[in-house]
A and B are shown apart, each in its own frame.
Chain A
């Protein structure tokens, strides 16, 4: 466990140190995945289904706010649908507009959830979303998740009926619109999933906030069970096409993802929980302090410095390159100082050692 915690701390440190570069890379990857999913599923306009164009759009997204990823995904989907049928594109545009006007004026913070819901639904693993949203977002995330499900089912219905839609004449515009909207209106699966995911988010959110030990684990397991139960009942009552085995496996994956999230975001040591009680003139205070799980990072210490035969030109610090530094890991910082204090002053240290020294001082600060 100690090693895993150490790796976590190192990853966190790496992320914090390189956040300026990592964030655009992550945004690029997300945008690329989103647009590729849209183009892969729809792909009716050959001009837009172009890797170069997708890469340019994803690159732009990496420097723009997160909401722009959703915008670009919407634009790409509309272009593809326009190639399929003007009426279909118009209906989908209206649905997008309704969602934007009603919900996303409150803030685009949750727009990522919409995107994740749609992408993961396309990958048949949307069960991760409500559990994770319940853990790290609030109950209002239900709106974004529902919108994501609506978008996915709308587009899925269009892809299923693409052949029929493209074969229809322009005179049959109303029939086309009806066919597209049937994906939302007469869709029991969508209804069951919205209900299941909403209830799951609420259950996870409420349990996660409870003042009990292992509240995060309880919340994610309870949420997963509730989600599965509602999907199962919905399947039995409304005869939806939610595959129980897929839902079960997806839920297990969701718990694994949630546990990973818990590990990185909320890793606490319940064994060292302290409960204290005190009072002042007005109140009694019952305080429960749960310490974070941390480990003291092992420090590298210089054990031996071997001079190599090849002596290259000196570095900018005026020291000769080409020396090799052997290090070992110890748990205490005093060793580091002791080793350095005893190191001969005349030893020349190469570039790699300089980097190492700088890291050491940073970690000590």
Chain B
């Protein structure tokens, strides 16, 4: 005789294992701080590369003007502007990364918690 409740529970568990569960189990190997820190580091590398590319594109876009003013420009002010914008972009981006990955971690933990509860429930059904 098929136990309908058990089948539903097993289907849920199998579906979770096949989809979200894979990613969640990888995430849960880390502590939250470690997981978020790793992604913050990756995010910092990404934003730095992107910023360099953007500055290069900006210079290339107006290359003739840039070359004309190369000897006249205030290098200190130019560097200051670039650094200030870099800090602002990096902070904004890293805050977004922090929020996104903290949320992702919490979600994965919650999913795994529910998964283990369902596993226990399934076990108790078999022990009945």
- A residues engaging B (CB < 8 A)? 91, 94, 97-98, 101-102, 105-106, 174, 177-178, 181, 185
B47 at the A/B interface (Cβ < 8 Å)? yes
Min Cβ gap B42→A in Å is 7
Q: CB within 8 A of B61: which of A101, A102, A105, A185?
A: A185
Q: CB within 8 A of B60: which of A102, A105, A106, A177?
A: A177
Interface string of B30-55 (1 = CB under 8 A from A): 00000000000011001101100110
Check A101–B60 contact: CB distance below 8 A: no
Where chain B touches its partner, the secondary structure class is helix
B64 at the A/B interface (Cβ < 8 Å)? yes
User: Given A174-B60, A174-B63, A178-B61, A105–B53 Cβ distance below 8 Å?
Assistant: no
Check A177–B61 contact: CB distance below 8 A: yes
15 contacts between A and B (CB under 8 A): A91-B57, A94-B53, A97-B49, A98-B53, A101-B49, A105-B46, A174-B64, A177-B57, A177-B60, A177-B61, A177-B63, A178-B62, A178-B63, A181-B60, A181-B61
User: Given A102-B47, A105-B46, A174-B64, A97–B57 Cβ distance below 8 Å?
Assistant: no
- B residues engaging A (CB < 8 A)? 42-43, 46-47, 49-50, 53-54, 56-57, 60-64, 93, 100
Contacts of B56 in A (CB 8 A): 94
9 nearest interchain CB pairs? A174-B63, A101-B46, A177-B60, A101-B50, A181-B61, A98-B50, A94-B53, A102-B50, A178-B61
User: In the complex, what distance in Å separates the CA atom of A162 from the CA atom of B62?
Assistant: 21
User: Given A94-B53, A98-B50, A181-B57, A105–B42 Cβ distance below 8 Å?
Assistant: yes
Q: CB within 8 A of B46: which of A91, A94, A102, A185?
A: A102
A365 — nearest CB in chain B belongs to which residue? B2
Min Cβ gap B44→A in Å is 11
User: In the complex, what distance in Å separates the CA atom of A181 from the CA atom of B54?
Assistant: 12
Min Cβ gap B94→A in Å is 12
User: In the complex, what distance in Å separates the CA atom of A8 from the CA atom of B117?
Assistant: 35
User: In the complex, what distance in Å separates the CA atom of A105 from the CA atom of B49?
Assistant: 14
User: In the complex, what distance in Å separates the CA atom of A249 from the CA atom of B47?
Assistant: 40
